[in-house]
Structure 1
Amino acid sequence: MLLALAAVVVVTWRLLVAATDERMATSLQAEVAEFRRLVDTGIDPRTGAAFGSVDDVLSAVLTYNQARPNEKFLAYVDGAYRYQSRVEAPVRLSDDARFTALVGSVSESRSGSYASGAGEVLYVAVPVSLDGAPGSGVVVAAFFADLEREAADSTARLMLVVGGLTSLAAAGGAWVVAGRILRPVRDVAETAQGITETDLSGRIEVPDGPGDELADLARSVNAMLDRVETGVAAQRRFLDDAGHELRTPITIVRGHLEVLDPTDPADVRDTVALVDDELDRMNRIVGELLLLARAEQPAFVRPHAVDVAALTAEVGRKVARLGDRDWVVEETAELDAVLDPQRVTQAVVALADNAVHVTAPGDRVVLGSRLVGDELRFRVTDSGPGIDPDDRTRLFERFARGPAGRGRSEGAGLGLAIVAAIAAAHGGRVELDSAPGRGATFTLVLPAHPAPSADGTVDDASATAEDPHPAGGTP
C-alpha cells in the first residue's frame, strides 16, 4: 500500500508540475503576443499619438499589461533596467546584475530559466525598437516557477499526509482482522503445544456456524485429536486390562511350576493340564481384549442389507448347540435391514451363552427379533436366578460378573462388554429387564435402517411399529 501510495503521489505531483509549467509557458507566449500587438500598432494608447521613443513604448507595454501572481514584467533600455510591474515579488530581479546582463541587451527573442534567490525563474525576453528613435529596449516577462508550482507541491504533501494516515488506519484494521482470522492458527499451535502424552484433552474453540476455511481446519484438528485420544485411551485400557487379567493366570502357572515334582508323573500330568487350561484362558482373554480394542475403530462393523428373519432363524440354530436347553425362537422381524450380520450374530450368541451359564439343563431360553418403531430389537430371555438392580449397570463393565457367574473360571467377564460395544458400533444400546428370581431379558436395540429395494425405494410397510410387549411374551 505504501509503495502504491508513493507511486500515485509522485505521478500526480509530476502531472501537476507539468500542467503548471505548460500554463506558465502558455502565459508567457500570450504576454509576448500582447507586447508585439501593442508595439506593432505604433500608437501610444495613453495619448493616441505615435510613440516618440523606445522609452515610451516600454512604459506603455508595462502599463497596459496586468501581471499575474508570481509573474513579473521588466523593461530594459540600452542594457540598463528602466521599469517593472508593481506586483510584489519575493526578490527584486531588477537589482540582480546577472539577470540584467542575461536579458537586458538581447537582440532577438530568448526564453529560458534562471536560478534566482527565490528559486527557478522562467522568462521570455523580447527586444523592442522604434524606427527613427535612438536606443533599443527589451521587455521581459518572468514567472517565479517554484512559487507557481507551490500549489502542486502542497497537493502532493496533502496526499502524502492523508495517504499516510489512511495507510496507518488500514494497517491497524488489517492487524485486527488478521488477528481474528489467524486466531484459529494460534489456537492450533497452542493446543498442539499443550498436548502431552498424558493429557490429550485440549481442543480448539470453534465458533458456531459454518465458518471459513480456518474454522474448518480447527474442526478437522479437533476431530483428529478426538481420534488420537480415543486410540490412546483404547491402548491404555487394553494394556491395563491385559495386565490386570493376565497377571492371575501367570501367577497360577508360575506357582504350580515352582512346586512341581518332576519325579511324580501324576503331579506332572496334573500340572500340564492346569497350565494348558490357563493358557487357553489367557488366549481367550487376549482375543476378547483385542476385539474390544477393534470395537472402537471405524471399520469394526461392516453393515449391508440383511434379511432379519433369516438371520434370526440362523442364530437360533447356532445357539442350540451351546447347551441342553429348551431353545425357542418366539418371533422374527420381517424386513431387510442394513446391519453387520456377523457382529449381531456374535452379540446374540454371547447373550445366549450367558443364558446357558445361568440356567440348568432343560430350562427355557427364548430368542426373537422384532421391529418397534424405528428400532430393531434382538432379545434373549432366560429363566435363571435374575439380576439384582444394583448389579445391572456394572454387568456391562469389563471383567464384571453377576452373582450367577462369579463361580466360573473359564470366562473373563468381557462377554457383555463386547455385546455393548457391538451395539454402540451400530449406534444402538443394550437393555436389561430382570429381577431376582424371575430370569432376565437382554435386548440388543439397533437403529432400524430398512434396506432399499431393487428400484432404490424403501418399503414403508416394513417400518410399521409393533407392540413391544405381545401377549404371553417377556419384555
Structure 2
Amino acid sequence: MSPGGRRGPRVTARLRLTLSYVAFLLVAALVMSVCVWAVMRFVPNYPLTAANPKDLDMPIASRREILAAVVRACGIATAVLLVVGSVGGWWLAGRVLTPLQDLNAAARAAAEGDLSRRVGLRGARRDEFTDLADTFDAMLDRLERDLHAQRRFAANASHELRTPLAVLRALLDVARDDPQGTDLPVLLDRMDETTRRAGDLVAALLDLAALDHGALARRPVALDVIVEDALEDLRPEARERGVQVTARVDPATVPGDATLLARVVDNLLRNAVRHNLPAGGRVAVTLTGGDRVRLRVENDGALLDADRLAVALEPFARQVQAVVPGCGTSRGRSGPATSNGLGLPLTERIVTAHEGVLTLEPRPAGGVRATVTLEGTPDVPVGVR
C-alpha cells in the first residue's frame, strides 16, 4: 500500500497471469535462441562446397550468413510467441479464474446481505478451486441457518420478555386504580413470581450467549459423581411427586467444565421427574463409561412422534418441551416446575460445546428417552475424581 493507506493501481490477477505466461514464453524463446546460436558457432569458418558435384553451381551460404539467418528466424519466432502467448495467456487465465469470479460474486452478494446465493461448482472437475467453492458454499449454508435461527430466537426472546413486562404493568395499573382494594401481599407475590420468571429467562439467554462466544475450559470431570450428587438432591422431590427413580451409574470421566455438565445432568434429571405422569411415574437413569460415555434418562409421559419431538430443541417450543426432560428451569428443589422454553436448547448447547451429542427418542410406552454421548477419558486415574 502507498503512504496514507491508499492502495496502488489495481492490477487484476488475470493480467498478472497473462504477463507471467508471456514472460515465461519469452524466456524460453531467448534460451532456445541462445542455444541455437551457440550451436551454430561450430559451423566451419572456411569456404563450404557442395557434397554433390552437380550442385557446385548453387550459391553456398557463408558462416556469417547462416548466423544472420538463424538470428532473424529466432527473432520472428520470438515475436510470434509474444503474440500467441499474450492472446492465449489471456484466454487461459480467464478460464482458470472463472471459479474465482463466481466465488467473488457470491461473496459480494453475501456481503450485501443475500446469503442464498451459492458458487455451485459441485459438478466441475475436482481441483483446488472446486474445494474452495464447496467450502465457501458450506460456510454460507451454516451462516444462513444460524442467521435464520438467530432471527427466530431474537423474535421469540423479545416476545417472551414482553410478556412479564406487560403483566407487571397490568398489576401496577390495577393497584394504581384501586389502591384501597388491592391485596398487597398477593400483589407482591405475583410481582415477585413474574420478575423471577423474567430474571430466569434473561439468565438463560446470557448463558446461551456465553456458550456461543466463550472458550470452554476442559478438565477431567468425574461425571458419575455429578450424576450421583444430582440423584441425591432429586430424591426428596421425586418422593413428593410420587415418581420412582432407578439408576445404574458406572465410573465415567469426561473432559469438560464441571459446572456446565452439572447443569446438564440437573436439567435432565429434575425435569424428567417434573414432566412425568400425574401419579406412578418412573425415571430410569443409566451412565456407562469408556471411550464413549453415555448418559441416558428415560421418563414416563405422553406418547410423542419423532417429528414432533425434533421441535423440542427449538427455543421457546413449550408445547413439546412441556413433556420432554430437560426443557424447563430448575431453580428450586421443591418449587413449582416453571419453564421458560430454554432448558433443553441450553442443555443441547452445553453438550455441543463439549463436542458431544444430545438425542431425543420417543418411548413406545410413552415418555422420552434422552441420551447424552460424550468423549470419555478412561485412562484418567481414579485419584483425579
> Please, what TM-score do these two structures have when normalized by structure 2?
0.65
> In structure 2, what is the Cα distance between the partners aligned to 1:10 and 1:228?
56
Q: Are 2:220 and 1:305 equivalent residues in the alignment?
A: yes
The alpha-carbon distance between structure 1 residues 160 and 364, as it changes in their structure 2 partners (threshold 3 A), is same
Deviation of the 1:228 alpha carbon: 5.0
8 A contact 1:428–1:445 mirrored in 2: yes
Partners of 1:260 and 1:178 lie apart in 2 by: 77
> Corresponding residue for 1:376?
293
* Corresponding residue number in structure 1 for 2:251: 334
Q: CA deviation at 1:280?
A: 1.9
Residue identity in the other structure for 1:335:
A
Instruction: Determine the C-alpha separation between the residues in 2 that align with 1:274 and 1:250.
Output: 12
Equivalent of residue 201 in structure 2, options 280, 285, 304 = 285
Deviates more, 1:236-245 or 1:157-166: 157-166
Q: Cα distance, 1:332 vs. partner?
A: 0.7
1:234 to partner: Cα distance: 5.1
| In 1: Cα distance, 2:172 partner to 2:267 partner | 34
Amino acid at match of 2:253: D
Distance 1:420 1:445 in 2: 9
CA distance in 2, matches of 1:403, 1:160: 82
Structure 1 residues 253 and 205, CA gap change in structure 2 (3 angstroms): same
Of residues 64, 80, 101 in structure 2, which corresponds to 1:186? 101
Query: Does residue 427 of the first structure (1) align with residue 356 of the second (2)?
Result: yes
Greater per-residue strand proportion: 1
2:192, 2:357 → 1: CA distance? 38
Q: Which of 347, 372, 377 is matched with 1:445 structurally?
A: 372
Identity of matched residues, %: 26
The structural deviation recorded for 1:367 is: 4.7
Amino acid at match of 1:432: E
Q: Distance in 2 between matches of 1:298 and 1:175?
A: 48
Could you tell me which residue of structure 1 aligns to residue 80 of structure 2? 165
Residues 231, 358 of structure 1: CA spacing in aligned structure 2 closer, same or farther, 3 A cutoff? closer
- The answer to whether the 8 Å contact 1:381/1:442 transfers is yes
Does the aligned pair in 2 maintain the 1:337–1:448 contact within 8 Å? Answer: yes
How far 1:339 moved relative to its partner? 4.7
Structure 1 unaligned blocks of 5 or more: 28-65, 72-146, 455-475
Which amino acid is the alignment partner of residue 416 of structure 1? L
Structure 1 counterpart of 2:231: 316
Matched ranges for 1:65-144 at <5 A:
69=59
> The residue matched to 1:276 in structure 2 has which SS?
helix
Contact 1:391 1:402 in 2 (8 A): no
Q: Distance in 2 between matches of 1:248 and 1:409?
A: 18
CA contact (8 A) 1:351 1:442 kept: no
Given that 1:366 and 1:382 are in contact with CA atoms closer than 8 Å, whether structure 2 keeps it comes out as yes
Measured in 2, the distance between the counterparts of 1:173 and 1:321 equals 83
* Corresponding residue SS for 1:316: helix
CA distance in 2, matches of 1:174, 1:153: 30
Quick one: distance in 1 between partners of 2:248 and 2:40? 100
Residue 13 of structure 1 contacts residue 153 of structure 1 at CA under 8 Å; is this kept in 2?
no
- Kindly indicate whether the alpha-carbon contact (under 8 Å) linking 2:230 and 2:266 is maintained by their aligned counterparts in 1: yes
Supply the distance in 1 between the matched residues of 2:40 and 2:295 (Cα, whole angstroms): 93
Alpha-carbon deviation of 1:281? 1.4
Quote the residue 1:411 is aligned against. Answer: 339
Greater RCO, CA 8 A, separation 6+: 2
Q: 1:196-228 CA distances to partner (integer Å, 9 max, x unpaired)?
A: 45432445456799955x677667756765675
Aligned partner letter, 1:398: P
Q: 316, 321, 339: which one pairs with 1:399?
A: 316
Give the letter for the 2:200 counterpart: R
By how many angstroms is 1:288 displaced? 2.0
Q: Is the 8 A contact 1:344 1:422 kept in 2?
A: yes
In structure 2, list runs of 5 or more residues that go unmatched: 1-22, 48-55, 324-335
Distance 1:68 1:430, change over 3 A: closer
Distance 2:35 2:377 in 1: 74
Q: Distance in 1 between matches of 2:88 and 2:103?
A: 23
Note if contact 2:254-2:377 (Cα within 8 Å) is conserved in structure 1: yes
Q: Report how many aligned residue pairs link the two structures.
A: 332
Q: CA deviation at 1:331?
A: 0.5
Q: 1:211 to 1:360 in 2, by over 3 A?
A: closer
**Counterpart of 1:442 in structure 2: which amino acid?**
R
Amino acid at match of 1:396: L
TM-score, scaled relative to structure 1: 0.54
Contact 2:227 2:265 in 1 (8 A): no
More helix by share: 2
Larger Rg: 1
What's the Cα RMSD here?
Answer: 4.6
Q: Say whether 1:386 aligns with 2:313.
A: no
Contact 1:382-1:441 within 8 A present in 2 as well: yes
- Flag the 1:452–1:164 CA change in 2: closer, same or farther, 3 A: farther
Contact 1:308–1:332 (Cα < 8 Å) also in 2: no
Q: For the structure 1 residues 386 and 224, does the alpha-carbon distance in structure 2 shift closer, same or farther, using more than 3 Å as the test? A: closer
Name the SS for the 2:176 alignment partner.
coil
> In the alignment, what sits opposite 1:460?
none
Shift of 1:307: 2.8
Compared with structure 1, are the counterparts of its residues 303 and 363 closer, same or farther at alpha carbon in structure 2 (3 Å cutoff)? farther
Please list the CA deviations of residues 294-320 of structure 1 after superposition, one character each: whole Å capped at 9, or x if unmatched.
Answer: 455574x54443333323212212334
Partner of 1:88: none
